[in-house]
Structures are given as C-alpha cells and as structure tokens.
Amino acid sequence: MHKIEVEAEHDILSLNKRLAKENREFLEKHGVIAINVMGAIGSGKTLLIEKTIEALKDRIKIGAILGDVIAKEDYERVARHGIKAEPLNTGKECHLDAHLVHHVIEKFGDVDLLFIENVGNLICPVDFDLGERYRVVMVSVTEGDDVVKKHPEIFRLADVIIINKVALAKAVEADVDKMVKDAERINPKARIIRMDLRKGIGFEEWLEWLRCVLQSRGE
Amino acid sequence: MHKIEVEAEHDILSLNKRLAKENREFLEKHGVIAINVMGAIGSGKTLLIEKTIEALKDRIKIGAILGDVIAKEDYERVARHGIKAEPLNTGKECHLDAHLVHHVIEKFGDVDLLFIENVGNLICPVDFDLGERYRVVMVSVTEGDDVVKKHPEIFRLADVIIINKVALAKAVEADVDKMVKDAERINPKARIIRMDLRKGIGFEEWLEWLRCVLQSRGE
C-alpha cells in the first residue's frame, strides 16, 4: 500500500472509531439492540430482515437502515412491511461507515431492534465499526464452499454466521460441512446457523438467538 | 466523502492510470489480449477460466493472473491446468490495481491470451483500469435478479456480460429475462451471454466471442 493510502486510512479509521462510539452510546442509552448484517450480494440479507420483521413486529418495535451503493430496492422491500426504515447510499464506497449511520441514527431511538444492512460484499465492511452491538455475517452455498476460508477477516468478528440456501448445496456441488468447519476454525465463538430461508430451514434457530439477545437487555 | 479521501483517491487514480497505460503498452507490444474478469464471489469466474483453458490450450498459449484478498485457492485451481499463472493477493483491498498487475506483467509477454481474475465483488474494481483490452463481468442468477440494476457502473464498462447459473433460476426464483433487459438498458453495446457452466449452456457462445477477439489481432 502506498504512503498516502496508509495516512488517509489512518485518519478515516480514527474518525470512524469516534463516530461509532457516539452511535453506540446513543443506542445503549435508548436500549436499542443494533445488528450489523453483512454478506455478499444475494446472500439473503434483505430477505432475512423481511422475514424477521414479519415474525416479530407484533411484539417488538423494529427499525432498519439499508445500505447500498446506489439503489433503493432493499429499502423499498423492507419499508413495505410497515416499519421505520432509512436508505443509505454510499455512492462508490463499498461499505457503510459510522459517519453515514450517524446521520440517521437519531430517528431510531424508539425501536427495540435495529437492523443495519451493510453493502453487499465480504471485504470492505470489516474495518468499519458502525456502533452496533452484534455482527451477523451471511453467506450462501451458491458462492462456493470455499467462500468462508477465502474471507477469514469478516468471519472472525461475527457473532452469528449464517450459511444460507443449504437446500441448493447439491445443485451447486457445495459441501456445507466444509463451510461450517471453516467457520468454526476461524471463529470458534460464533453461533453458526445452517439456513434456507425459502424452505424455512434454520429460521427458528435464528429467532431463538434473537430472543436471547433481546432478553439479555431485560425485555 | 471527506476531503482527505477525495485527495487520496485523486492521487491513487492518477498513479493507477499511468501504470495501466504502461501495462497496456507492454501487452500490445507483445500481441497479448488481456481480459479483466470481474464479478461477485461465486459467480463462476475461476470455473470459466478453467474451462476456457481446457478448450483452447492446445491451440493458443494462455496465461492467468488470479487476484484475491488473502487466499490462493483460485490460483491453485488454475495452475493445475498446466498454464503459466500468478497469484496476486490484495491484503485488505477489494480490487486489483494496475500497480499490482505491473509487478507480474512481464512474465506474460509470450502468451496469446491473458486472463486477469479480479477480486470478487461488483463495486471496487470499477475505477481501476489494469491495462486490459476487454472487460468481462459475470453474475449468477443466485445473486438475485436485481443484481444488474443495483450495480450499473460495473456493467456500463463491460464488453461481455455473462449471466451464469441460469439452470438454477427457477430454484432461486430469479427472472433471467429481467436481468438481460437491465443489462441491455445499462449497456446496449455489450455482448450478453446466458450461461450455465455446469450444464454447458452458453459456453460455445463465449468461445465464439473469444475466437473473434483473437482473430481481430490477426491470429
């Protein structure tokens, strides 16, 4: 990496750290559990958020921040479920940062659970703390069964690792056990969930984890 | 974007432009056709390169540069086919740049066709010319049928747009026609190929395009 890049990166990450701290303090003060949902394009992030809203919206208040480079499709999909949602476009940047989230965070002081859907890739979001309490990383078996091994950094910091579309594993010749083993080796503390959202597999396990998380703050 | 980021970006892109020009001059001088293969993780980039090598290696000399954040799996897969290959790890960067390619380009002066497989995502590689002659962007229907619409920048600059894994479209509820229409609207000049590499669909059309490209340089 060139010198100018190193210097710029240092400044950007210092600023990000400060704003992430402010976001976190705001969320904790208001008892909001924020979850940074990361994963490649098409891994199922938006559908997971949509299905979770439908399962829980009668019992708790949910908000969502939807990050994307340029589009607003994910925001529109989620907003249709009648919850408070905000789109965040990053322009050419490949990740959300604490500064962008800071612009909208105050609108979410009254929710119990806040999903922050990051921009779709497994590389850029790693270094950018947004002020969230938990990190969820979602991959699909269609990305190839070496996808976990190839991106250790993002999995290392995850609280939950979701391996989605397991029903398609045979069709794409992916070995789900290998993906789970890679995830366990990289991050032995993470909760690993085998999922297929369209078939309903693993969704109950995900809700169970969410319920524990919500209870842990005294709900 | 913050001021420091804009300044750093300007310097980085200027340097990249200069080195891309040098790479391009080297490749043209030696009659090498270089193809920058871009696409998300799991879209099928490595498999496309592998199958193309098997189809053409008896007739032409092929080389490959395999970009990845940290892993060397793609390099190992391609090198097994007995061609000249070089891995390029980007560390934390989410794209190849002309500088990285510049380090290894001189090893490929004797090949006819050089594949440069970029890092797997649809955002970061856009701005970084590597000195290639053609850009191929590959997506899979499993990424969702809104994937083209969501990433117009990368499709705008493509010479070939490959929509892969079409045999899985029904299973993942993806509308291939919609993807093709989005691609045509964003980039009316690109050659669009519907493909399923594991089923053999579209591969002959890809080889036909490659043959034209090789003939155009007087082979």
Does residue A118 sit in helix, strand or coil?
A: coil
Residue B218 has pLDDT above 90, yes or no: no
Question: How much is the average pLDDT of A89-98?
Answer: 93
Bridge-based pairing of strands A191-194 and B113-117 is: unpaired
pLDDT score for A4: 58
Give A10-56 pLDDT, tens digit per residue. 788 999 999 999 999 999 999 999 999 999 999 999 999 999 999 99
**CA–CA separation, B92 and B183 (whole Å):** 30
Mean pLDDT of chain B: 94
Cross-chain residue pair B123–A119, CB shorter than 8 Å: yes
Mean pLDDT lowest among A37-46, A50-59, A119-128, A210-219 = A210-219
Q: Would residue B131 count as lying in a domain?
A: yes
CA of A213 to nearest chain B CA: how many angstroms apart? 29
Bridge-based pairing of strands A134-140 and A113-117 is: unpaired
Q: Is A92 on the interface with B (CB under 8 A)?
A: yes
List A64's β-bridge partners, or say none.
Answer: A85, A115
Cβ-proximal residues to B70 (8 Å cutoff; 6+ apart), any chain: A150, A151, A152, A153, B89, B91
**CA–CA separation, A153 and A151 (whole Å):** 6
Range of the domain at B85: 14-215
Nearest to A144 by CA among B213, B170, B41: B41
Q: Which residues of B touch A91 (CB under 8 A)?
A: 1
Give me the sheet containing A62-68, strands edge to edge.
A84-89, A62-68, A113-117, A33-39, A134-140, A160-164, A191-194
Q: Would residue B127 count as lying in a domain?
A: yes
| Amino acid (one-letter) located at B13 | L
User: What are the distances in angstroms from CA A9 to CA A14, A32, B68, B144?
Assistant: 8, 30, 20, 32
Question: How much is the average pLDDT of B6-15?
Answer: 80
Distance of CA A4 to the CA centre of its chain: 30
Cross-chain residue pair B144–A198, CB shorter than 8 Å: no
Residue B185 has pLDDT above 90, yes or no: yes
**CA–CA separation, B146 and B168 (whole Å):** 15
Question: How much is the average pLDDT of B167-195?
Answer: 96
Q: Which of residues 144-203 of B touch A (CB under 8 A)?
A: 144, 146-147, 149-153, 165, 168, 171-173, 198
Write the CATH number for B126: 3.40.50.300
Give A147-164 pLDDT, tens digit per residue. 999 999 999 999 999 999
User: What are the distances in angstroms from CA B120 to CA A9, B63, B69?
Assistant: 22, 19, 9
Count the residues in chain B.
Answer: 219
Does residue B89 sit in helix, strand or coil?
A: strand
The structural domain count of chain B equals: 1
Bridge-based pairing of strands A160-164 and A191-194 is: parallel
pLDDT score for A5: 62
Confidence category of residue B11, pLDDT binned at 50, 70, 90? confident
**CA–CA separation, A147 and A172 (whole Å):** 13
Q: Which of residues 46-75 of A touch B (CB under 8 A)?
A: 68-71, 73
Q: Would residue B162 count as lying in a domain?
A: yes
3-state helix, strand, coil in chain B (%, to 5): 45, 20, 35
Q: Would residue A8 count as lying in a domain?
A: no
Bridge-based pairing of strands A62-68 and A113-117 is: parallel
Cross-chain residue pair B41–A149, CB shorter than 8 Å: no
pLDDT score for A2: 53
Cβ-proximal residues to A200 (8 Å cutoff; 6+ apart), any chain: none
| Amino acid (one-letter) located at A203 | F
Mean pLDDT lowest among A17-26, B2-11, B102-111 = B2-11
**CA–CA separation, A40 and A59 (whole Å):** 30
DSSP for B115-137, written as a single string: EEEPPSBSSGGGG---S-SEEEE
pLDDT score for A219: 45
DSSP for B57-86, written as a single string: TTTS-EEEEEEESS--HHHHHHHTTTSEEE
**What kind and span of H or E run contains B161?**
strand B160-164
Question: How much is the average pLDDT of B35-60?
Answer: 96
Q: Would residue A118 count as lying in a domain?
A: yes
Count the residues in chain A.
Answer: 219
Q: Would residue A1 count as lying in a domain?
A: no
Q: Would residue B76 count as lying in a domain?
A: yes
Q: Is B10 exposed, middle or buried (0-12, 13-18, 19+ CB in 10 A)?
A: exposed
**CA–CA separation, B45 and A198 (whole Å):** 26
Question: How much is the average pLDDT of B46-71?
Answer: 96
Cross-chain residue pair A123–B69, CB shorter than 8 Å: yes
Q: What is the value of pTM for the model shown?
A: 0.88
Q: Which of B2, B71, B153 sits opposite A150 (nearest CB)?
A: B71
- Is residue B85 within 8 Å of B4, Cβ to Cβ? no
